[in-house]
Amino acid sequence: MKVAVYHGIGDIRVEESPIPKIKEGEILLRVMSCAICGTDLRIYKHGHKKVKPPHIIGHEVAGVIESVGEGVTDYKEGDRVLLVTEVGCNLCRWCLDGRKNLCAKMQAFGYYYPGGFAQFMKIPREAVEQANLIPFPDTLSFEEASLIEPFSCCINGQEYLNIGLGDKVVIVGAGPIGLMHAALARSKGAKMVILVDISSSRLEMAKSLPIDFFIDASRENPVEKVKEITAGEGVDAAIVACPSGQAQAEALEMVGIRGRVSFFGGLPPEKSRITIDSNVIHYKEIGIFGAFASSNQHYYKALKVAATESIDLKKLITASYPLKKIQEGFQLLSQGKAIKIVINPWE
């Protein structure tokens, strides 16, 4: 089979590799689509402490079950399925609570296990037993289904924020995650969605989406602009979907009284300490929340929303490439010229 192997920073090569052999309880998955995540791009550009090259990365996967090992009864050959990235221990309180993304022993496809930039993937027994393959209907294409993973992370992140009818929401970061957050907030009933970014080209790519105001933070002060748009009140919720400590601090100024703030994106480790005005949190009764990855329940919800077409994930796909052109996909993303790129290993 053909695989794209990550050999180190800036070095991904398409190679031949034997098709994985599956044993009892395991599944062989034919990968139809695997989208490039922001994290994949970070691994490609800077490396990652959990990814030891040579390794196959990629975790936003949709495909068809090629064969099932002995003893597998809940899945069958030919099922269209998408992959849950996280595999938990299945014993701790977070796994039992349906939040294996928070399990101390969590391992993930594309990091610990080989990932989806390959024609086939072996799904190990522990993942099969944790229902890491989720069936999806033919109304959703493989490419769209590959975007359920990032979308499920947004669903998890917005759980805490309680966005509802009439809310005003600001999203900082116009990458694919920011745009998914915008669409999700809208579908939950937000009456105003404001998008902030420092890149005018990213904002331009988002113009076709249902967003009310675009703020180019490289040209105007985003806090003042948000205040102006909301007649001085500030928004009800702010989601920071970019790796910027300054944006996190500013989000506290953008929300109004009892505003909710999500620090959705992580910061680079050497920049993860930031300075904020704690009294703003005190007097305005602001809530600040984290979000990290997602679990099966969030994938199910994401699928439900995407399958009813209240959110059209297709709009976020700028281009798709066959596996042999994966380098081009990474290049286009690094140049900031794409929202989402999908790799189709059988094209």
What minimum distance in Å lies between the beta carbon of 175 and Zn ion?
11
What minimum distance in Å lies between the beta carbon of 36 and Zn ion?
9
**C-alpha span between 78 and 41 (Å, rounded):** 31
- Please state whether the peptide bond connecting residue 222 to the residue before it is cis, i.e. omega within 30 degrees of 0: no
Query: Considering only CA atoms, which of 338, 305, 345, 341 is closest in space to residue 323?
Result: 345
Residues contacting residue 49 through CB under 8 Å, at least 6 positions apart: none
What minimum distance in Å lies between the beta carbon of 44 and Zn ion?
13
**C-alpha span between 63 and 148 (Å, rounded):** 13
Residue 150 vs 329, nearer CB to Zn ion: 150
Q: List, in sequence order, every residue forming a beta bridge with 237; answer none if it has no partner.
A: 169, 260
Query: Considering only CA atoms, which of 128, 136, 90 is closest in space to residue 109?
Result: 128
What minimum distance in Å lies between the beta carbon of 316 and Zn ion?
13
Residue 95 vs 140, nearer CB to Zn ion: 95
Q: Could you give the 3-state DSSP secondary structure of residue 347? A: coil
Residue 103 vs 235, nearer CB to Zn ion: 103
Residue 37 vs 154, nearer CB to Zn ion: 37
What minimum distance in Å lies between the beta carbon of 211 and Zn ion?
22
Which residues form the interface with Zn ion (CB under 5 A)?
Answer: 37, 88-89, 92, 95, 103, 150
Residue 103 vs 174, nearer CB to Zn ion: 103
Residues contacting residue 142 through CB under 8 Å, at least 6 positions apart: 32, 33, 62, 63, 80, 344
Alpha helices by DSSP H, listed for the chain, are 38-46, 93-96, 125-129, 142-145, 148-159, 176-187, 200-205, 222-229, 245-254, 278-284, 296-307, 326-334
Write the DSSP symbol of residue 212: S
Residue 92 vs 249, nearer CB to Zn ion: 92
Residue 19 vs 319, nearer CB to Zn ion: 319
What minimum distance in Å lies between the beta carbon of 170 and Zn ion?
23
Residue 68 vs 179, nearer CB to Zn ion: 179
Q: Report the amino acid identity of residue 27.
A: I
Record the tokens describing residue 78, joined without a space.
């030919």
Residue 48 vs 260, nearer CB to Zn ion: 48
What minimum distance in Å lies between the beta carbon of 329 and Zn ion?
14
What minimum distance in Å lies between the beta carbon of 262 and Zn ion?
17
What minimum distance in Å lies between the beta carbon of 86 and Zn ion?
10
Angle formed by the axes of helices 38-46 and 326-334, nearest 10°: 90
Task: Report whether 87 contacts 107 (CB < 8 A).
Answer: yes
Write the DSSP symbol of residue 25: T
